[in-house]
Amino acid sequence: MTIDNGTRVAIVTGGSRGIGRAVVRRLAEQGYSVVVGYAGNADEAAAAVKEAVAAGAQALAYRADVADETAVAGMFAEAETRFGGVDAVLNSAGRMYLAPVADLDLDQMDALHRTNIRGTFVVAREAARRVREGGSITLFSTSVVGTYFPTYGAYAASKGAVEALTMVLAREMRGRNINVNTIAPGPTATELFLDGKSDELVARLAKSNPLERLGEPRDIAEVAAFLASPAGHWVNGQVVRANGGMV
């Protein structure tokens, strides 16, 4: 069944947890119909859908590995079938692996880059083909690309590729009125960020910006919702470092 009530439609990958889930909630509050893309945790994806519906939105969950072009194409097709089209794509799906370069597990690095680089290009390719005129594409990087913390080499390199893609894709969208941007969060209180970090390290990172706190997923979701909205449409081809002033 097709539902086309004139509302804007968003696909949010990595939408079942962390920043992606906060983005789902914020877009739902703004009246978007939302497809919650997820990789494996169906219960968390269902909970994200429930939150979106409670906010007054239409929503559905769709399982898709972002690096699998067939699955991603199916997710876009489902959005078109159920909601009538796609206006905003926000690719928050990502993987983190930390190790000094001398100790890199190359299989782990390959898996990281499969999700963070290949996955970004797969989602961006489908978005470039299918987002409706006047729409928006938002990718995700990390402020570590500019802080150069030890052990983040493989992760930062994967996100550096995303940043390099941003302006290229924005220019390729010429004539279609589609803006393309990347958000690079700083330390944000998500399960992915907090996993394996001592309380001392978390406290030190919280003090690393002038606002002296960790970001919250909602902080990043507000930026994402702005960039996807008509109000943020003039921002194009940019990497937005949403990090409280961290340098």
Cα of first residue to Cα of last residue in the chain, in angstroms, is 49
Catalytic residues: 155
Let me know: does 144 contact 156? Beta carbons within 8 Å: yes
Q: Which tokens is 194 given?
A: 């907090």
Across 42-68, b (16+ Cβ under 10 Å) vs e yields eebbebbbebbeebebbbbbbbbbbbb
Given a contact cutoff of 8 angstroms between Cβ atoms, the answer to whether 91 and 140 are in contact is yes
CB within 8 Å of 192: residues ≥ 6 apart: 17, 18, 94, 96
Neighbours of 98 (CB within 10 A): 16
Alpha-carbon span 24 to 29, nearest angstrom: 9
Coil, strand or helix at 217: helix
User: For 53-208, where are the E strands, in sequence order?
Assistant: 59-63, 88-91, 136-140, 179-183
d(CA 208, CA 228): 28
